[in-house]
Chain A
Amino acid sequence: MKYYFICFAFFLFGISEAQDCSFTFSGELSDFHDGTPISAAAIYIKKLDRYTTSDLDGKFKIENLCKGDLILVISHIGCETKTVNFEVTGDMFKAIALEHHIEELNEVSIKTNISRNETTTAQETVIKSKTLQKYSASNLGDALKEVSGVSSINTGNSIVKPMINGMHSSRLLILNNNVRLQDQEWGIEHAPNIDINSANQISVIKGSGTLAYGGDAIGGIIIINPTQAILKDTLFGRTSIGAQSNGRGYNVSTRLNKNYASGWFANLQASHKRHGDFESPDYVLTNTGLQSSGVTFSAGKKRFESGFELFYSYINNDIGILRASHIGNISDLVTAINTQEPLVVNDFSYDINAPRQEVTHHLVKALYYKRFRNFGKLNLQYDYQNNQRFEFDVRVGADRDKPALDLNLQTHTLSADVILDARDTYKLNFGVLGRYQDNFANPDTGVRRLIPDYERYDFGIYLTSEWDVNDQLTLDAGIRYDFNRIDAKKFYQTSRWEERGYDEDFQDIIIEDLGTQLLTNPIFNYHNVSLSGGMKYTLNTNSYILGNYSMARRPPNPSELFSDGLHHSAARIELGDLRLEQELSNRLSASYAYNNDKLNILFEVFYNHINDFMYLEPVGIEQTIRGAFPVWSYQQTNAALYGADLSVNYKILERWSINNKSAFIKGDDLDNETAIIDIPAFNTRNELTYRNDTWNNFSASLKSEWVFEQNEFPDYNFETFIASTNETVLVDISTPPPAYHLLHFYSDINFNISDKTKLNVALSVNNLLDTNYRSYLNRLRYFADDLGRNVTLQLQLNY
């Protein structure tokens, strides 16, 4: 970790008579936070071409100064040097508080490739700006796979949900510029609404240990940070343009950052991408095009003692979903599984037709902070999010262009956070949070609501602390309490109400009886306590170990409680359950890290025991006019997930290095003695890189990605009668596809166009050998192969 100290001091000292060069300046440098003296700071007196240093008490003295201008240049180890001007009129003494804090130091760092960890003892991996730039044309879920142990659960190739150690959706918490994303994250086909181009750095934290962000992150936390403001008069920007062969798509992204030494700043970023139908090695994946636009704007004033920020981000995604995945009933699914090619393959097109989804997400944030001497820092934040989701199904007649799903989710959050860092070795952080959320399901769709109208209230309070016991050992601990209240208004079909047995348990929540339908008002309150404790022990200059324990509770989400309807791409009826209770996770983890000039190793293990783990399971078959459908209902069981992640980087020669990232995980359903569904198989990625700085920072790498077959899966296969052939067949929806191996190539080179302008040209080829494969964690694996070869060319101009 690099420390930056901004140190500046002003000293005026004058002694009476003019022309008499006998004035004395004396000063005292102290830490802003705790008032401790800053010793050994170098003070350069330009006029005299002389140095002096502050003593153990932070004091220093400059003698024999003449009347007139005085320029002092003050620096401290690792500091950005500051120059200050004064006019000497007489002898003077001044006590100066210096800004001496790691966090702030990083905030003033101009270099975007400096990484800043969010935690000390958690299993955290930071993805730097340089790496993120490779994914400019792609999405968040794909970029996160840079971290060993992170995979994704996909619906096709454009709807990519990150998965940390086998957990996804509501079990992950995503923060965009310190705002917890509220974008209907419960659904597997709801990808996070993040424009990857707006991110400057992403931290992936495995496990729930970071309680300041939330108490229900059973899987982990993803923290997305935009470019930080710097205290310098500067204007810089970046524009990238890319084109890719698969999908015949392009992407444009640009950003401009303006900063002033006074602390004022403004950033503007915009991006746009457009793809047509993607292609597997053998056929066009009809209706998989996408169009995405995003804008981010922020402005404010950032001073050491106080500051504010206004932040706005907008993203609109229009994503086509493979046409062949829209099926009517089980016999269609059987046909799809048995047919190698998708049932609908048309010529390449940029058109995005039904089925498709169109999601717009607005995020507004206002932040104010103030620092108090000898105390700490207070943050006050308000944020508002508006998430509008339309899903268009294949429909007939007048409903053809009408969305089948129209949900609007609005969230207001107000939070206050105090960091007490007055003492060097001890840090305390506490805060409160209140949130109000309103979901509106538009009835004009002509389709019964999948998720009902609801209002949700959250209140959270937390306390975390960090203690540097000695040079080797750091301990941290935290506790958090959350209260969640969900107040919904939901229609149930009377037949469903009775079938679920709600007429016995929930008869009192009916507020209106419409004959075939009942309007109900379920209200649920949840109290959650979360705990965490961790330690970091530095073994020597090259290695350290981490240990962490966390306990987290997650209340059921609206989908788990209220889901009620037919899912077209899965040909199944999904039902929530009003009786679900919170799930409770107890997670133990440990890491070992070794770093030297040539070798970097990070080895992580974890064991996550989850009581009352919520999951979907087939529970029966129901007959409709479209034939029979399996019914999947949310159930609870006790589960254990455990595994190990390895990341190794080794510099074989001056210019050659190899990198390995491997992840192994198992998920056991302890009650039913079977495996948990959708657990990633063992995968290992090996990369050989050649880098030559003398050739314009040229680099080229070849990456092998090997994903094994998942042999442990629950058997949810069932038999169905196919009327058209008068046969009963087994519907194999459980067996994972075979293992696959892919090769990827990446190369880039940098040109200095002028003093401040740099051009980066990157060429990459994904799936170099055009291999046919299907991924177990892709929900459309029954219908089509995954993507074939993709050649991407990207030009990036930094100025």
Chain B
Amino acid sequence: MKTNKYLYLAILSLILVMSCSDDDSNPVPVNEEEVITTLIVSLNPTGVGTPITMESRDLDGDGPDAPVITVSSAFEENMTYTGSLNLLNETVTPAESIREEIEEEDDEHQFFFSSNNGLVSTSYSDIDGDGNPVGLLFTLTTTSAGDGVFTVVLRHEPNKTAEGVSDGDITNAGGETDILVSFPISVE
């Protein structure tokens, strides 16, 4: 029958379409650009004491492995530390500094610090172009001894002029959380 001819034609041309569009090249891996894998908190005592380093490292980003959190040593009572933050993307080699990106867009970022049991208090030591705090540099003061958790939060596009935000109160900050890390600490 005449119809069959058309059917064969259709099937044939389909096979043709399919066979010419094959290519076996493999896709290239994606360079993950804004992943923050690592947060390093460096604290130097203003008096006599041991510098402290706290790290959170999550090399698979959003992957299933949990971040590895380390705290080098305990804090000393009634001590003031000067703090500094470093942020890295270690999925690429060499590691990319996220701190530089934040410095460039410091008006859109702010760190918030908190601890339970009133173990430590913090204050900002840096400001952005508008005179609002950023938190890459800060001071940390301990009072009495005890155990607890010290939490660092990075908010992207917070409302820095909202009430309490420039004093480090996260309640009205808004924005999106880019980092939330809790370090177990003790003050001795």
Q: Which A positions have Cβ atoms within 8 angstroms of B?
A: 326-329, 331-332, 343-344, 372, 375, 378, 380, 394-399, 412, 414-416, 418, 432, 434, 436, 438, 441, 443, 445-449, 452-453, 455, 457, 489, 491, 493-496, 499, 511-512, 514, 516-517, 519, 565-566, 573, 622-627, 629, 723-724, 726
Contact = CB atoms under 8 A, between A and B. Distances in A.
Contact of B32 (A448, A457, A495, A624): A448
Interface in B15-38: 15, 17-18, 21-22, 26-34, 36-38
B77 interface: no
Shortest Cβ-Cβ A-B pairs, 6 listed: A446-B33, A328-B177, A328-B176, A434-B14, A627-B180, A623-B66
Nearest to B56: A625
B27 A441 contact: yes
A418 B1 CA distance: 13
B27 A624 contact: no
Interface in B96-143: 101-102, 104-105, 108, 112, 114, 116
11 contacts: A434-B11, A434-B14, A434-B15, A436-B21, A438-B21, A453-B27, A493-B63, A512-B26, A516-B59, A624-B61, A624-B66
Nearest to B100: A397
Interface of B: 2-3, 6-7, 10-11, 13-15, 17-18, 21-22, 26-34, 36-39, 56, 58-67, 91, 101-102, 104-105, 108, 112, 114, 116, 149, 151, 153, 155-157, 170, 174-182
Contacts of A573: 62
Contacts of B34: 395-397, 399, 446
A625 B60 contact: no
A455 B65 CA distance: 31
Nearest to B117: A726
Given A412-B17, A436-B17, A489-B26, 11 more contacts: A326-B176, A415-B10, A432-B7, A434-B18, A436-B21, A491-B27, A511-B26, A625-B37, A625-B39, A625-B56, A724-B170
Contacts of B105: 396-397
A418 B112 contact: no
A372 B3 contact: yes
Contacts of A446: 30-34
Contact of A626 (B174, B179, B182): B179
B30 A329 contact: no
A380 B39 CA distance: 61
B153 A723 contact: yes
Contacts of A629: 62
Contacts of B33: 398-399, 446-447
A443 B6 contact: no
Contacts of A344: 174
B177 A329 contact: yes
Contacts of A517: 29
A395 B17 CA distance: 40
Given A328-B176, A331-B177, A445 B30 contact: yes
A56 B116 CA distance: 99
A158 B58 CA distance: 37
A478 to B, nearest CB: 19
B39 to A, nearest CB: 7
A512 B29 CA distance: 11
B101 A397 contact: yes
Contacts of A447: 30, 32-33
B108 A414 contact: no
Nearest to B182: A723
Contact of B10 (A327, A380, A452, A627): A380
B18 A457 contact: yes
Contact of A436 (B18, B26, B108, B155): B18
A78 B63 CA distance: 68
Contacts of B17: 412, 414, 434, 436
Contact of B60 (A398, A496, A519): A496
Of listed A414, A452, A457, A519, residue having the most chain B CB within 10 A: A414
A500 to B, nearest CB: 8
Contact of B176 (A332, A399, A443): A332
A436 B34 CA distance: 35
A329 B180 contact: yes
A484 to B, nearest CB: 13
Contacts of B114: 723-724, 726
Contacts of B176: 326-329, 332, 394
B64 to A, nearest CB: 4
A572 to B, nearest CB: 11
Contacts of A723: 114, 149, 151, 153, 180, 182
Contacts of B58: 623-625
B179 A625 contact: yes
A525 to B, nearest CB: 15
A295 B50 CA distance: 70
B37 A443 contact: no
B106 to A, nearest CB: 11
Contacts of A449: 27, 30
A394 B156 contact: yes
Contact of B67 (A448, A455, A624): A624
A343 B21 contact: no
Contacts of B170: 724
Given A328-B178, A624-B61, A723-B149, A448 B30 contact: yes
A438 B28 CA distance: 16
Contacts of A372: 2-3
B38 to A, nearest CB: 8
B112 A396 contact: no
A450 to B, nearest CB: 11
A414 B13 contact: yes
Contact of A519 (B22, B26, B157): B26
A395 B109 CA distance: 12
A436 B108 CA distance: 46
A459 to B, nearest CB: 8
Nearest to B31: A446
A443 B6 CA distance: 42
B39 A452 contact: no
Given A446-B34, A516-B91, A623 B67 contact: yes
B3 A495 contact: no
A443 B3 contact: no
A654 to B, nearest CB: 54
Of listed A331, A436, A499, A565, residue having the most chain B CB within 10 A: A436
Contacts of A452: 27
Of listed B34, B56, B67, B180, residue having the most chain A CB within 10 A: B180
A565 B64 CA distance: 10
A544 to B, nearest CB: 34
Contacts of B149: 723, 726
Nearest to A631: B64
Of listed B21, B63, B66, B104, residue having the most chain A CB within 10 A: B63
A449 B2 CA distance: 48
Contacts of A414: 10, 13-14, 17
Contacts of A327: 176-177
Given A328-B178, A624-B61, A396 B156 contact: yes
B91 A394 contact: no
Contacts of A493: 60-61, 63-64
Contact of B112 (A438, A519, A623, A724): A724
A622 B153 CA distance: 18
Contacts of B7: 416, 418, 432
A113 B31 CA distance: 55
Contacts of A624: 58, 61-62, 66-67
Contacts of B175: 328, 343
Given A511-B26, A519-B29, A375 B3 contact: yes
A416 B2 CA distance: 14
Contacts of A443: 27-31
A441 to B, nearest CB: 7
Nearest to A494: B60
B163 to A, nearest CB: 15
Nearest to B64: A499
B45 to A, nearest CB: 25
